[in-house]
Amino acid sequence: MEKFIDQCEDFPRELIRWYSSNRRNLPWRDTNDPYKIWLSEIILQQTRVAQGMDYYNKFVSKYPKVNDLAAATEEEVLKDWQGLGYYSRARNLHHSAKMIVEEHSGEFPDEYNSIIKLKGVGEYTAAAIASFAFNQDYAVLDGNVFRLLSRFFGIKTPIDSTQGKKEFSKLAQSLVPKDDAATYNQAIMEFGALQCTPVNPDCSSCPLQSKCFAYEHDIIKDLPLKEKKVKVQDRFLNYLIIQSSDQLLLNKRTQEGIWKNLFDFPLIESSSSLKYLELEKNKDFISIFKETDFSLEAESDERKHLLSHRRLYCKFYHFKVDEFSTDLLSKYRAVPVSELPQYPVPKLIENYLGEETNLLSLFK
CB of 246 to DNA, least distance (A): 26
The CA distance from 162 to 160, in Å, is: 7
Query: Closest distance between DNA and the C-beta of residue 154, in Å?
Result: 17
CB atoms within 10 A of CB 17: 13
Residues binding DNA (CB under 7 A): 26, 28-29, 40-41, 44-51, 83-88, 92, 119-126, 128, 142-144, 147, 162, 189-190, 192-193, 198-200, 226, 228-233, 257-260, 305-310, 346-348
Cβ distance to DNA smaller for residue 146 or 285: 146
SS3 letters across 53-89: HHHHHHHHHHCCCHHHHHHCCHHHHHHHHCCCCCCHH
Q: How far is the CB of 230 from DNA (least distance, A)?
A: 7
Nearest to 150 by CA among 162, 139, 158, 161: 158
Find out whether 335 and 247 touch, Cβ atoms under 8 Å.
Answer: yes
| Cα torsion angle, 295, 301, 302, 303, sign | negative
The CB density around residue 204, as the number of other CB atoms within 10 Å, is 6
Name the minimum Å distance from CB 143 to DNA: 3
CA angle 47, 48, 50 (to 5 degrees): 130
Which of residues 201 and 266 has its CB atom nearest to DNA in the complex? Answer: 201
Burial (0-12, 13-18, 19+ Cβ within 10 Å), 208: buried
Tell me the CA distances in angstroms from 210 to 28, 136, 205, 214, 336, one per residue in order.
33, 31, 11, 10, 65
Q: How far is the CB of 166 from DNA (least distance, A)?
A: 11
Nearest approach, Cβ of 231 to DNA (angstroms)?
7
Q: Which of 2, 9, 14, 41 is catalytic?
A: 41
- Closer residue to DNA (CB): 133 or 328: 133
Q: How far is CA 132 from the centre of its chain?
A: 21
Nearer to DNA, 104 or 347 (CB): 347
Name the nearest CA neighbour of 212 among 1, 4, 65, 2: 4
In terms of CB distance, is 253 or 334 closer to DNA?
253
Q: Is the CB of 148 or the CB of 288 nearer to DNA? A: 148
9 counts as catalytic: no
Contact 341, 333 (CB under 8 A): no
Q: Are strands 233-244 and 310-321 parallel, antiparallel or unpaired?
A: parallel
Query: Annotated catalytic sites, by residue?
Result: 41
